[in-house]
Each structure stands twice: as C-alpha cells, then as structure tokens.
Structure 1
Amino acid sequence: MSKRSTVTLKGLAQELGLSPSTVSRVLNDAAGEDSRWASPETNRRILTLASELGYAKNPYAASLRTARSGLIGVVVPRLQDYVLATIYEGVDEAAAEHGYVAVVANSLDNPVSHEARVRKLMDRRIDGLILGDTPFDGSTLTAIEREDVPFVLVNRRSPGHPSVTCNDYLGGRLAGEHLAGLGVEKVFLLAGKDRMSTSIDRTAGFTEALAEHGIELPASHIATGGFDAEGGEEAMRRLLEASGVPEAIFAVNDFAAIGALGVLAERGLSAPEDVKLVGYNDTPLAGGVGLTTVRSPMHQIGRQGLELLVETMAGRPVESRQLDPELVIRTTA
C-alpha cells in the first residue's frame, strides 16, 4: 500500500495479517491502545500503521459506517454573494427532494479556510461534498481525494473532476460578439481572479470572439481582481490610469461591472453614451441598473450539481455538465 489514496480496511488487515473485523474494532474503539479487542501489541501495530498510511485520519474510513448520514456538505467562497447563494438554493432544493440536508460553509477563497471547513463537514460524517470554491488547477482537492469522499464541483470547474458549470467560454463569446457588433475597437476586460475557471473561460471566449472580428485586446487592457464591486472599481481605475478611456468594457461578473460603472460616473462618463458595458450572471441588481449581461443558469447549476453528486455517491459513472448562458441586452450596451 504505497499510495495513501488506496488505503482501505481490507488492505490494512492484509498487511497486518489480521482479520478486517479486528482492525475495524480497534480503530473504532475510543480506548485506543487499550482496546479490549486485541492485545496491547496488536493494538499498537494497527494504530501505528493506520496513522502512517493516513487511514486513522480519514473520518470516512475510520468510522466504517454502513448507513448514510443524510448530510451533504457545501463549501462556497461567500454565501453572501448572490450567485453563490442562488446556486446553494438550487443545491438545497434538490437535496431535500432526494432526502438530504445540505450544510453550507464559507471558505473566503482561502485554501487554509477551505481545508478547515471541509474537515469540519467530514467530521459530521457527510455523505458527499459540493464545492464552489475550487481553483482551476484543483490544488484544494488533494486532501479530499485522499479521503475518498464523493464530491462534485459547481460554478467553477477543474479538469478531470466532475462538475456542473455554466458554459463560460460560450458566455464570453456572446459578450465579445455583441460588443464587436456595436463597432467598438478599444475594449477593456475586467477578468476577475485568474486562477478560477470562471475567469479563464470567460476571458478565452471573449478575446477569441473579438479576434475573429479583428479587434485586438492587448494585455494592458486586461485587469484581474475580485468578483465584487470593490474589485471592479479597483481594476477599472488601474485601466483608466494606464490606458485612458475605452469604447467598451466587459466585466466577468455583474458586481465588478457595477463597480466599474461607479468609477465611470465619478469621471463624468456614462453607459452606453460614452462607454459600452457588459457584465455576467444577470443578478437582480443588473436589471435594476439596466446592465447588459450574460445570464448564467445559477439555480440550475445548483440543482444539477446535487443530482450529479447523487449519481456519484451511487457509484455510477458521471460526466461533467455545462449549461448554456444567454445574452440579456439592456441599456448599457
């Protein structure tokens, strides 16, 4: 058993030359090395090997449970974010229909917080995880894979892992084709966080659509930053100071777009008269300010994420899903 990810009760028992039932009883006995199920020497052998291979730290394997808990853990960056809250509502709704209760935790997009929240959820013996805070490189999934916990990603994708997302590449193309059709040439992109698939895919679709219409988007016209209004404001100020006023702006999140709109207003500029502006997701606030945006099926992403997790927990093969976006044209572009 050279790989921690392959540690099983049966494997431990075989390596120790003991029965699985003895290993199970010792690992689950609160008395630890004083377990009544085996001699002190055997207890120590079991606990030592389990610790070395990571088995004792696995709440799934260590509990050796046969009955499901009925709990689904959900980890998102910030539940106060409208997009994530709507996705969670979809998860919660579908979970109830399948007889589960969804328990949510915020990671603040911090890997340390993410690991702590996931551990707390697994300590509650959840049946599976839905993760909305995974970076594109999947770096936060290593520990979860080692624990062998069923999981599905939502909103953000990572290659090789089951996910339900909006087709963000297509969404970026819709924004690019729309602005290109308006005859603009100088375009800014508020690209969000560059380690997240939402930013990567929306940016790729947008820049490729512009290129097909002969519109160049130099690196100096692209700014990364947060997905919130504050991040949009900061990114917008940087671009304006470095490159002047553009003809159009695409922000990969509505809140970042609204932040940019505020900065434009500070400078006596308005949309669409001076600058065309397109956002992404179609949150209620977007409708309130007349923001042209790309609508993401947020609620359905949550529902289908839970349904995909149910399939995964049942041991059935699954494939990632991408749901189609829709361009919603209002007054800003």
Structure 2
Amino acid sequence: MPNQSRPATLKSMATELGLHVSTVSRVLNGDPTGVERAASAEVIARIRALAKELDYRPNTQASNLKLRKSQEICVLMPRLTDLVMATIYDSIDSAAEQAGYLTFVSNTDDQQPRQMARAEHALRRSVAGLIVGDSHTGDTQPLLDLLARKQIPYVLVSRQIAGHLTAACDDELGGWLAAEHLYRLGCREVAILAGERHASTGADRTRGFIRYYREQGISLRPEWILNGPFDSHTGHQQGAYLLALNPRPQAFFAVNDFLAIGLMGAARDKGLQPGKDIAVVGYNDIPLANELIVPLSSVRLPLAQMGRQAVELLLKRINGESAESTILTPQLQARASSAVLPKAG
C-alpha cells in the first residue's frame, strides 16, 4: 500500500494499481468522453475503489491551471463590517451557488494596493471571474485595466465607473429623491454628509442632491458638505460640528444610514430631536433604520437584487455572451426623522 501519511495523488494511485497516471486521471476527473476509452469497467471500478479507500481529493487548483477554467468567483469588497456590503455579498453567494459556482470574498479596506494584491492572488487560482465592489472614481483604474488587458471576466457591483460593466443603483437619482423630499418639506438650509471622496456611491448621491436644489435656484453652502468615512463615528463627529454652528442647518442628507445614525446620536447629545428640531434623511434603508426610537427616513436600494444581477452579468461574460449594465431604481422611504419642517437654526 502507498504511504498514507501523505495525501493520495493520481501518481501514487497509478503506481499502486500498475496503471498509467493518465488513465487514473480520466476516470477520477470524470471526463465523460475519455473514461470508457481509458479503461475497462473492471479497471474503472478498481480505480474508484482505491480512491474511496484513500479518501482521494482532486487538486482543483492544479486542474484549474491545466484547464484554464474554474468554478470559483472572487468578490472584492471594501469592508465586510459594512452591513450593506455584507447583504450584497450574501445574495452574490446564493446566486453563484445556484449557478454551480463557489465564491470567496476578499476584504480590501477600500485601498487600491490591497485591492490589486488580493485580485492577483485570485488570478493565480485561475478564478472564473471577479465581482468588484470597491472601485474608485477617477481616470486611473489599475485593477480594471489589468483585468481588461488579460481578458478576465469581471463586473462591478454597487459602484459605477464609465466604460465598465456594472450592477448598481441609480445613486444620482437617489440623491435627487432625498433632495426633493426635503425641499417639499420646506428645508432650504441643508447640509450633506457626503462620504469618502473616491467612492462613486457617495459622489453620485451628493451630485444628485445638489442638482435638485440647483434646479430650484438654490446653491447649497459648500462648507456644509463634509467628506469622510461611511460610519456612525464619522456621522457623530460631523453632526456635532454642524449642529454647533450658528446658524445651523435645518436638514441633513447623509449618503448612508450609518452616517445618519451617528448624526442623530450627536443631535441627541445636544437635546435635539430629528423630525422636530432637525430633519434627517439617510441612504440604503438598512433594517435598523425603521427600528430606531425616531425611525429614519432613507432611500431604499434593492441590495439583494443588485447582487443577483452582478452574478448574472458575470456569467454572461464568462460564457462569452454580450451584456449591458443593470442600473436599478431607488425609492424614498419617508419616516419620522423628516416628518416636519424644522425652524432655521
């Protein structure tokens, strides 16, 4: 018997059985056109029995390198602590599994060098394709340029970059809807918690919001448009700063719900109540938004659908089919945090 202190290989089993390694490979790799030509029924049975006895596991990475194909999809996400990104990934994983693919996720911390390193690691595994959730705005896209040059199937999710296939939401429209809501409420002095400058999501939402007010003949104060990370800590800090101004903004648009929740915490600390003293609108409509003491108005995105669409587009690219970007439609969910016109600060 072969040395069982090491995992069984095609070569070791071929030696044990007195067969050529290619014969064992055809049988165990399930080549439907080669199995019957490779061996008799008796030999096939012997090979499979030994593989079962030794608990043989195919080396999928080696097979992928040889065949230049894989059933794995790499998903690059900026951070999985973000509930929105985690929700999108969950739907990606489910849709991929239904299509016969496995996914693995790499957390890039929204840093381009880390993104490139994680992607190159995935390419060494000969993945079938990549879904990219952390592309940056601007003309320079090192990773996307690399994937296009190597003809690796890829698709963006939740981010939009001109010239690249994506499954995303119309974030500019979402910002426009938030602005329309606050304007019709009577709010004219409005601040924006705009998120990180490099993220297309925050930039598009901010652009749509500003555009609506400009169309009404109102220019928002640039010093009231603050950039920073997409988290509640930043929302609290920026909210504390803006609420301490004299005059202060009547209303606040935060480009994600965590920024809005942090801002509402800063309002609480100052004895102010959203929906009474100030108006607040967030973005993404995470489940927590409706469960707060003062339910948060928010722009709802079809996150699960976005993930499914990303997989569908990627599979088209993997199969060599033509594909066009899918841009989903957001909806405003008005709640108590923006129920009344606050007095000007």
TM-score, structure 2 length as denominator? 0.75
Task: String of CA shifts for 1:287-331, please: whole Å, max 9, x gaps.
Answer: 111000000111111000000000111112211111000111111
Equivalent in the alignment of 2:181: 178
Cα drift, residue 121 of structure 1 = 1.5
Gaps of 5+ in 1: 1-59
Asked if 1:191 corresponds to 2:214, the answer is no
Q: Name the amino acid aligned to 1:110.
A: Q
Q: Distance in 1 between matches of 2:223 and 2:246?
A: 7
Q: Equivalences for 1:131-210 in 2 at 5 Å?
A: 131-137=132-138, 138-210=141-213
Equivalent in the alignment of 1:329: 334
Pick from 312, 323, 339 the counterpart of residue 318 of structure 1. 323
Equivalent in the alignment of 2:9: none
Q: Is the 8 A contact 1:136 1:159 kept in 2?
A: no
Q: SS at 2:136's partner residue?
A: coil
Gaps of 5+ in 2: 1-60, 339-345
Task: String of CA shifts for 1:73-119, please: whole Å, max 9, x gaps.
Answer: 00101112110011001111110111100111100001121112112
Q: Distance in 1 between matches of 2:326 and 2:66?
A: 31
Task: String of CA shifts for 1:48-67, please: whole Å, max 9, x gaps.
Answer: xxxxxxxxxxxx9xx76435
Q: Distance in 1 between matches of 2:144 and 2:156?
A: 10
Equivalent in the alignment of 2:300: 295
Q: Distance in 2 between matches of 1:243 and 1:304?
A: 46
Q: SS at 1:198's partner residue?
A: helix
Equivalent in the alignment of 2:110: 109
Q: Is the 8 A contact 1:172 1:204 kept in 2?
A: yes
Equivalent in the alignment of 1:69: 70
Pick the structure with greater CA Rg: 2
Q: Distance in 2 between matches of 1:243 and 1:261?
A: 18
Q: Is the 8 A contact 1:279 1:291 kept in 2?
A: yes
Equivalent in the alignment of 1:226: 229
Equivalent in the alignment of 1:118: 119
Q: SS at 1:214's partner residue?
A: coil
Equivalent in the alignment of 1:216: 219
Equivalent in the alignment of 1:100: 101
Equivalent in the alignment of 1:274: 277
Q: Is the 8 A contact 2:65 2:126 kept in 1?
A: no
Q: Distance in 1 between matches of 2:261 and 2:218?
A: 24
Q: Is the 8 A contact 2:243 2:267 kept in 1?
A: no
Q: Is the 8 A contact 1:86 1:299 kept in 2?
A: yes
Equivalent in the alignment of 1:263: 266
Cα 1:105–1:263 change in 2 (3 A) is same
Runs of 4+ deviating beyond 6 Å: none
Asked if 1:82 corresponds to 2:87, the answer is no
Q: Name the amino acid aligned to 1:95.
A: A
Cα 1:162–1:220 change in 2 (3 A) is same
Q: Distance in 2 between matches of 1:235 and 1:225?
A: 9
Q: Distance in 2 between matches of 1:140 and 1:258?
A: 33
Task: String of CA shifts for 1:103-139, please: whole Å, max 9, x gaps.
Answer: 1110000112111211221222210000000012234
Q: Distance in 2 between matches of 1:254 and 1:95?
A: 28
Q: Is the 8 A contact 1:135 1:197 kept in 2?
A: yes
Cα drift, residue 148 of structure 1 = 2.4
Task: String of CA shifts for 1:164-187, please: whole Å, max 9, x gaps.
Answer: 101101101110000000001110
Cα drift, residue 197 of structure 1 = 1.1
Q: Name the amino acid aligned to 1:77.
A: P
In angstroms, what is the RMSD of aligned CA positions?
1.7
Q: SS at 1:112's partner residue?
A: helix
Cα drift, residue 218 of structure 1 = 1.8
Task: String of CA shifts for 1:213-254, please: whole Å, max 9, x gaps.
Answer: 333212111001111111212322343455642110000000
Q: Distance in 2 between matches of 1:243 and 1:113?
A: 42
Q: Name the amino acid aligned to 2:323.
A: V
Q: Is the 8 A contact 2:257 2:285 kept in 1?
A: yes
Equivalent in the alignment of 1:284: 287
Cα 1:243–1:100 change in 2 (3 A) is farther
Cα 1:69–1:292 change in 2 (3 A) is same
TM-score, structure 1 length as denominator? 0.78
Asked if 1:307 corresponds to 2:312, the answer is yes
Cα 1:221–1:199 change in 2 (3 A) is same
